[in-house]
Structure 1
Amino acid sequence: MATPRTEAGPAAASPPALWDPVVRLTHWGIAAAVLLNAALDEGGSLLHVAVGWIVMALLLLRMVWGVLGPDEARFAAFPPNPLAALRHLRQLVSGRVRHYSSHNPAGALMAYAFWAALATVTVSGLVMTGGATPMQVAADKAAVASGDWSALIRDSEGESDRDDAFGEAAEEVHEVVANLLLILAALHVAGVALESRAMRRNLVAAMLTGPRQK
């Protein structure tokens, strides 16, 4: 196997000195939330709803940071480009490694796919719960546990067949995209492992602690 080598050129750049705290917080916060909702809690539970709101907050923070954050965190530093992503993967397989000032093209495409899927899951979840906050869900569950079913009766009043169909469609989208997120996560982990080996740099450690190894 050919020894990986760096490729110089006008498009090449040195990696940033570090990943800033907001990028790291949103990355690992969203990763933990996706795994938690997939492995530990049930749909519709208080924990599931609470985690969904946390994901929405982290996603919104990352979107704002993509406009106002440091250069390597901004969307302009890693625009989605499928052709560039394919070129990067071919270069990676052939042993040629190019440094980027932010995410490489394949990583950038994965990031945008993640964000689109997270936005879809969040919006469909809000539709399914009627926009209920964790506090509202907790109050309703406590009322039902005490024998007061008025909350459920109140929520069902005024529902039409159209609303039911819309809710069922949202639930279907929610489940499909939630599973898609797990597939994207697996591909992301595999890509990071391959890139780390080719570049001889611990990309996971960089996202955990900030500094990126030379």
Structure 2
Amino acid sequence: MATMVKIWDPLVRVFHWSLVASFAIAWISAEEWNDLHQWAGYAAGALIGFRLLWGLVGTRYARFAQFVRSPGTVAGYLKDILTGRERRYLGHNPAGGMMIVALMLCMAALCVTGWLYTTDAFWGEEWVEETHELLANLLLALVGLHVGGVLVAGFRHRENLVRAMVTGRKRAPGTGDVTA
């Protein structure tokens, strides 16, 4: 059995799965249960606020400085995926880091537009509702890409990344793996 190392701290894991749950609840309740939809949205907004803070002061692999890469690095990594030469990263790979930023920005914008729609100034404003729905659909598409990326990376590197986000542990780095 391979040696395992701790990567994701409990706060990152609880954040991740709580955000999954809050988005799923908000999506399911959007047309029928307005109060539940709003509370799920508020929970998502609070979770994003927490993650922004934890991305600055959290543990090594939770920090944005560890996984937010330049557009050129991300493009190079995506090219390496297409040619089958991508390296395994102990933390988030460059594409995964970009996806985290995209998911968080989209979720934050979704929360803001949802909240705006509850205010007197924007209640009934069609553009706010349409923007909110567009962002929800965009976020659903990003989630699909995220899950696809997790499956591809897991397959290519022979690693169960879903389990890693539950246990916090991944296979210890081998030759050529990126740990920084």
Common topology (TM > 0.5): yes
Matches of residues 41-190 of structure 1 in structure 2 within 5 Å? 41-42=30-31, 45-130=34-119, 163=122, 167-190=125-148
Change (3 A) 1:41 1:109: same
* Alpha-carbon spacing, 1:202–1:33, altered in 2? closer, same or farther (3 Å): same
Q: Would the aligned equivalents of 1:16 and 1:102 in 2 still touch at CA under 8 Å?
A: no
Task: Return 5+ residue gaps in structure 2 as ranges.
Answer: 173-180
Shift of 1:178: 0.5
- Misfit runs of 4+, over 3 Å: none
How far apart are residue 196 of structure 1 and its match?
0.4
Give the aligned partner of residue 195 of structure 1: 153
Question: Given the alignment of the two structures, is residue 205 of structure 1 paired with residue 131 of structure 2, yes or no?
Answer: no
Q: CA contact under 8 A between 1:77 and 1:101: conserved in structure 2?
A: no
Q: Is the 8 A contact 2:7 2:90 kept in 1?
A: no
Deviations 1:182-204 (A, max 9, x none): 00001111111000011111111
Structure 2 Cα separation of the partners of residues 128 and 39 of structure 1: 18
**Does residue 22 of structure 2 align to residue 33 of structure 1?**
yes
Q: Which moved more, 1:20-29 or 1:93-102?
A: 93-102
Per the normalisation by structure 2, the TM-score is: 0.85
Which residue type is aligned with residue 197 of structure 1?
Answer: F
Aligned residues: 169
* C-alpha RMSD over aligned residues: 2.1
Partners of 1:80 and 1:57 in 2: how far apart?
25
TM-score, length-scaled by structure 1: 0.72
- Percent sequence identity is 38
Show structure 1 runs of 5+ residues with no match: 1-14, 131-154
Are the aligned partners of 1:206 and 1:213 in contact in 2 as well (CA < 8 Å)? no
Does residue 18 (structure 1) correspond to residue 7 (structure 2)? The answer is yes
